[in-house]
Chains A and B, each alone.
Chain A
Amino acid sequence: MGATASQLGKDLLSEYQELTFLTKQEILLAHKRFTELLTREERDLNLNTRVPMARILTLPELKSNPFRKRICYVFSTSEQKDGSLTFEDFLDLLSAFSDSATLEIKSHYAFRIFDFDDDGTLDRGDLEKLVNCLTGETDDTQLTPDEMRQLINNILEESDIDKDGTVNLSEFQHVISRSPDFVSSFKIVL
């Protein structure tokens, strides 16, 4: 623990605390978990090393999440858009999914996670992918095209206020803010 703390640096640590919704312990734990993902030689470089998505996804917290890849893509600052995460990206992820993160930030990231094609709106394609992610790809769980169409129609009917056939961020946040259990379920705890 002392080693990791020294590795992180006191200033940096306090800055991270300032910048995220995480406590010191959580940041240190996150750091520990993150360094466990690094290979031996990468460990020396540390903070700016990117951990490829495949390795990030081995975390049990993300392993069974249907949106795990999207989460990585959204929080990755990688130029190649390969979903690899630096430690700071990882902290961002944990901060957004932490207990104390605000509804606004949670809904913002949720929106981006659901926005599969990164075009800033949830269109029918996004919604379909989203539902498929939730239901899984197997035949018995997946919705029939008919059901899917109806579901998406209903979703748009409810949330698409400006009737442009897509759900944008403000509409999404509007819907989400009224949900009683979004904040409590949009959480990842290491």
Chain B
Amino acid sequence: MSTVSEPLVGSSRSLSAAKRHKSVRKNSRRVYSAYQDHQHGSSDDEDKDEDRVDSNDPEEMFQNIQYQKEIIANIRTRPWPMRRKLKVLKQAREIVLRYEGQLTRTRGYQTAGADLLKKLSRGLYNIVVMFVPWEVRIKKIESHFGSGVASYFIFLRWLFGINIVLTIMTGAFIVLPELLAGAPFGTTRSKTIPKEHLASAQDLDTIWSLGGYLQYSVLFYGYYGRVRKIGSAGYRLPLAYFLVGMAVFAYSFIILLRKMAKNSRLSLASASDENFTFCWRVFCAWDYLIGNPEAAESKGAAIVNNIREAIVEEQEKKKDTSLAVLISLRILANILVLLFLAGSIYIIYFVVDRSQKLEQEKPELTLWEKNEVSVVVSLITMIAPSAFELVAQLEMYHPRTSLRFQLARVLVLYLGNLYSLIIALLDKVNSMSSAVQVSAGNWTDSSSFLATISQPGVDSASTLVSEISSSGHHNSTRTTIATMLDVTNSSRSSSASVSNQTALFEKNTRSQQDQCWETYVGQEMLKLSIIDMIFTVASILLIDFIRGLVVRYLSDCCCWDLESKFPEYGEFKIAENVLHLIYNQGMIWMGAFFSPCLPAFNVFKLIGLMYLRSWAVLTCNVPHQQVFRASRSNNFYLAMLLFMLFLCMLPTIFAIVRYRPSQHCGPFSGQDKIYDIISETVATDFPLWFSKVMSYVTSPVVVLPALLLLFMLIYYLQAIARSLKFTNNQLRMQLQTARTEDKKKVFQMAAARLHAPESAADNKPDQQESDITSQEASVHTPSPRRNGSVTNFQSPVHRGNSIRTITQSASGADLNRGSTAGSVRSPPVTILPKHRVEHTPSRPTPFLGGPSGTCRSKSFHHMAYIPPSHYSDIHSDPLYRKTIRPLHPVEAAGIITAQSYGGRRGHTTRYVIVNEHEPRKKLLRSATRIPRHYLMEEPAEILELYPRNIRRYMPRTTHHQPHPHRSHSSQQHLSEEDEEEEQGKGRRRVPLGKAHRPHSLSDLHQPAHFYIGDCVESHVTPAKDSHAAQGRYGGHEEDEEEDGAGESGWKDSELRSRSQASVRAADPLLVRTRHHMHSPGRQCQTPARTRNMESYVRSKTRVKLETPLTESDSASVASSSDQQNSSTDQYIQVIHNKERYLKSDTTRQGKLGKKKSKTNFELNSTESNDLVCSNV
């Protein structure tokens, strides 16, 4: 608004301001016009000119230099081809050097240092990456199977890391000191293998069941000595054992929680941007770094997976089946799962039970009997997940939900397994330690299993000689050993069996040693872990590898397609595998206290698993159909792991707290409770004051307040967390509003982008400044430049033209004759008389100036409405173009603008126009003044015009249709209505202009406005006509020149562009549509045609319009130079063209238009030549 009005004032200040503003615009334009320039030849030369244009006043110069510097600094960020960048850089440097003399080079050490730093960090990063284990392998898997599968391996690697740390802890603080400084093997009772076992200690059978040498090694709890201080340094092994045992848990907890916190922070950060999933999956999917065809292939596969997953998710949102069936199915599924769980728990308990019985009944157990428990547990863990998966298919959950359910169920199963196992074991332990009470005489064999055992115990008196005889110890020594059930058994039958005391003692000690329950638990755990590993390997080999082999190599000689039907390739089931890892880790945690080497074993296991799994995945697995986002599930896995850790810690802690340590083995032998080691150490090894302090601290006086304090702290932290959550929500809401604002901004940008190129055929594909002022600026500034200047002048002419076509109806006979005659010379002949006809009645002239004057002056108002109008409706491109049109006469009339800031033109043109505009203004004023009184005189004429207008184009359309006029009256109506619609869209600004005040868009569609609009149009155009006529009579040449030059230039260029072979066939149509869009002559066309064009313009003009226009621009500049000579002639010629053109449109309605118009134009050009001749 302001930029327009200021130039109106014509002050030099505003002029320079406008210029400056323009240079800024130019600047931004530069960046974005590149896309177009790049494609349609570069406009370097123009740019060059531009840069040198304004450099007179110092301020300007300074700005220019700043600008050039900016160019130099940012040139690499411009998406231009190199040659252009080189050119621009050269000239920018030249300018800077010329004007500033010495340019200080600020870049230098700073940038070099930054570069170096960057390189260093990159190198460091590369080195770090190199040391991350299995990075390449995981990347490979990731590229092949997607992030989901990779997440399994990343998880595995992370667990591997944890286990490494655990191994180091146990190894460094327990195993190594024991090995180095502890009593050597065979020196103490707990470290020697009993004589009768010595023979079989090296048997594979014994080793396999972790007995013999293995049992009496650092692997297990029982081996560690009870000596308080070992070695010369006095290492407190028992204390270390206890502390490390606790530290294992503590470390696991801490690392888990930290990881979870980190993950949740990450997921929180990414949660807010969830809405672009699809775009990212498509636009950012490809990793351009991939150079290896195989990797590319697998990346492609990953992308497909990713996209499919997104689509499936989207589809799942919409899918719905009958609820009743679904619910019943789900209930059924859950019942099945529960049954399965209960069954597995029962089986495990039963198996443990049975193994205990067998141990008592049989002296020699078979291999199966020894490993029964672990095998059964492993089998269940292997089979159950698949069963759950089958069951899950019943439920028809969303894949992700079903995955969650699956995971939860499998986790429950695994936990159930572990718990039933550990409970059974602890039961055994319990019975061992309860043997003390048993031997005391008061046995409460409340436990059913003791009762069941008692029966075989009775008849075992005869059969199980060795066992029973050994049990005689009960009478002689009331040792507090935790004895096996056979002890209790034997205690019953001891009355029957009498035996030698010495032999009894010997056997007694053995049984005492045997009954080290901690070792027993450790053994079980290790055994379970080993069996589990074996089963995993077996399942990978059998289920995946062999199956893969069979499917691949037997598919040819099989009657059905193995690869796609039954066996298929094994899928990699992330959920089960991850859970398996968790389960495995749970076993480790559970057994770590009793078997210090378990973490070390697990490390090896994980390494093996890593290689085997990755190999299996890459060779014989296919990607899971639905890959899920790793980042999401990661925390889920971790949560499960945490849960597992907690639950696995419980039994250990329980055992530590509840049971007495074995009396003859392990570091804590002889103590009442394992944790007594702490208090003992405090009491003995620390100074007195410390133990005193400790006793105070542990007294209720301190503990209770401390507890209270803790509770308060927890409450406080929770309150803080709650408030933080609240703030977080608020911030998120703010973010969302900011985002919507953002969207609006982009929306505006898009709007500006849509309008800018059309309004003035500016080449900007994008306008970054989206605020209203810049919008306005974009409306203003682009218009005067380039094609803007052209359109300025073209519009009035069009109106003139169109009006003439309307008036043709009056002289329709002439025209018809002329067109049908088809002679080259006849059109000018028809026009001239027609003009005379029009002018003589003195009717059109009165309207001319008056309404046109109002229209022009009113056009200012439109400017104010432009921004709102295109915010509300972006698609009203025609509207926009319309609104911009009326502006131009104003500018043309009084404002320098056009060429003066249209720097694209050379100096010469600029001056010419600056000179011109003054008389022009006068001229216009005179033009407006004259008609006014006519208008006053004959207002009735206006009214009369309305029907005429309608009538006029009615005949017009019919004229050129093969059918007679009257028969088409109904069609006419239709077409009128259609027209009205179009008008409603296209003409909005016309009523606005007429009414002198803002109109809401709502009343634009009223038919009245349509007529008025027509009227105004017609008013404007006769004005031009009159000018034309005057011009022809040599009256106001300059004005005419202006119009004529612009128009002719434009026309010329159009012709040229058309004559160029390279121009697409669509272009003529396009250009034509532009004419029709704003020429009232459009009314004369059949609605169908207009429709067609309109739609075409809608869809394509935005970009394509720019093509011909840029080309025409230079042409117009060129032609403007010789405007002095030929303008009037050309003007007529143009009118003529136009007419022919319209006619050709109407006559050859439809599809053929494109080609024919081309030929038509050639025809026209020849005609025009003739015309010139005739006129001169």
Contact = CB atoms under 8 A, between A and B. Distances in A.
A175 interface: yes
Interface stretch (A2-10, A34-42, A50-58, A62-70): A62-70
Interface in A145-190: 147, 150-151, 154-155, 157-159, 161-162, 164, 168-172, 174-176, 178-182, 185-189
A72 interface: no
Given A61-B291, A134-B285, A143 B307 contact: yes
A109 interface: yes
B1150 interface: no
Interface SS of chain A: helix
B747 A120 contact: no
B408 interface: no
Contacts of B293: 63-64
B288 A150 contact: no
A62 to B, nearest CB: 8
Contact of A64 (B296, B311, B766): B296
Contact of A147 (B276, B296, B311): B311
B715 interface: no
A118 interface: yes
Interface string A118-144: 111100000100110011100001010
Given A108-B79, A141-B300, A158-B278, A19 B284 contact: no
A161 B746 contact: yes
Contact of A155 (B282, B291, B301, B315): B282
B917 interface: no
Nearest to A167: B279
Nearest to A181: B284
A21 B874 CA distance: 38
Given A97-B288, A185-B288, A104 B77 contact: yes
Contacts of A168: 750, 753, 765-766
Interface string A53-95: 0000000110111110000000101000000001011011001
B742 A151 contact: no
Given A67-B286, A88-B83, A120-B765, A158 B275 contact: yes
A175 B279 contact: yes
A140 to B, nearest CB: 9
Interface residues of A, number: 73
Interface string B628-653: 00000000000000000000000000
Contact of A127 (B38, B282, B875, B1103): B282
- Point out which of A75, A118, A168, A172 has the most chain B C-beta atoms below 10 A from its C-beta: A168
Contacts of A119: 1100, 1103-1104
Interface SS of chain B: helix
Given A119-B1104, A131-B307, A169-B765, A92 B82 contact: yes
Interface in B281-307: 282-293, 295-297, 300-301, 303-304, 307
B164 interface: no
B1168 to A, nearest CB: 32
A20 B76 contact: yes
A67 to B, nearest CB: 7
B655 interface: no
B307 A134 contact: yes
A31 interface: no
A44 interface: no
Interface in A88-121: 88-89, 91-92, 95-97, 102, 104-105, 108-110, 112, 114, 118-121
B743 interface: yes
A155 B285 CA distance: 13
B283 A182 contact: yes
A152 B547 CA distance: 38
B874 A162 contact: yes
Contacts of A108: 35, 79
A112 B35 contact: yes
A161 B289 CA distance: 31
A171 B753 CA distance: 11
B754 interface: yes
Contacts of B753: 168-170
B314 interface: yes
B86 interface: yes
A114 B284 contact: no
A135 B307 contact: yes
Nearest to A120: B1103
Contacts of B77: 102, 104-105
A164 B875 contact: yes
Given A15-B86, A18-B75, A185 B304 contact: no
Interface in B163-221: none
A155 B279 CA distance: 5
A96 B79 CA distance: 8
B75 A154 contact: no
A150 B314 contact: yes
Given A65-B288, A151-B282, A185-B288, A21 B750 contact: no
Given A154-B310, A162-B754, A174-B746, A118 B288 contact: no
A96 to B, nearest CB: 7
Contacts of A105: 77-79
A64 B72 CA distance: 36
A134 B75 contact: no
Contact of B81 (A64, A88, A155): A88
Interface string B75-98: 111110111011001000000000
A189 B38 CA distance: 25
- Point out which of B89, B314, B746, B751 has the most chain A C-beta atoms below 10 A from its C-beta: B746
Contacts of B1000: none
Contacts of A66: 286, 296, 300
B86 A19 contact: yes
A92 to B, nearest CB: 5
B749 interface: yes
B1162 to A, nearest CB: 26
Contacts of B507: none
Contacts of B38: 77
A21 B79 CA distance: 12
Contact of B278 (A77, A155, A174): A155
A147 B313 CA distance: 12
- Point out which of B35, B76, B273, B275 has the most chain A C-beta atoms below 10 A from its C-beta: B76
Contact of B273 (A91, A135, A178): A178
Contacts of A161: 743, 746-747, 750
A58 B354 CA distance: 70
B1102 interface: yes
B283 A64 contact: no
A104 B965 CA distance: 60
Nearest to A176: B283
Given A15-B86, A155-B279, A170 B288 contact: no
Contacts of A158: 275-279
B288 A131 contact: no
Nearest to A142: B304
Contacts of B973: none
Contacts of A169: 35, 753, 765-766
B89 A19 contact: yes
B1125 interface: no
16 contacts: A19-B76, A19-B82, A64-B295, A65-B296, A77-B38, A119-B1104, A134-B286, A134-B307, A135-B303, A150-B311, A150-B315, A155-B282, A164-B754, A185-B284, A186-B284, A189-B289
Given A18-B89, A114-B283, 18 more contacts: A19-B85, A96-B79, A119-B1100, A120-B765, A135-B300, A150-B315, A151-B307, A151-B311, A154-B278, A158-B279, A169-B753, A170-B746, A175-B276, A175-B283, A181-B284, A182-B280, A185-B286, A187-B288
Interface of A: 15-16, 18-21, 23, 60-61, 63-67, 75, 77, 86, 88-89, 91-92, 95-97, 102, 104-105, 108-110, 112, 114, 118-121, 127, 130-131, 134-136, 141, 143, 147, 150-151, 154-155, 157-159, 161-162, 164, 168-172, 174-176, 178-182, 185-189
The 3 A-B pairs at the shortest CB distance, nearest first, are namely A64-B296, A88-B82, A162-B750
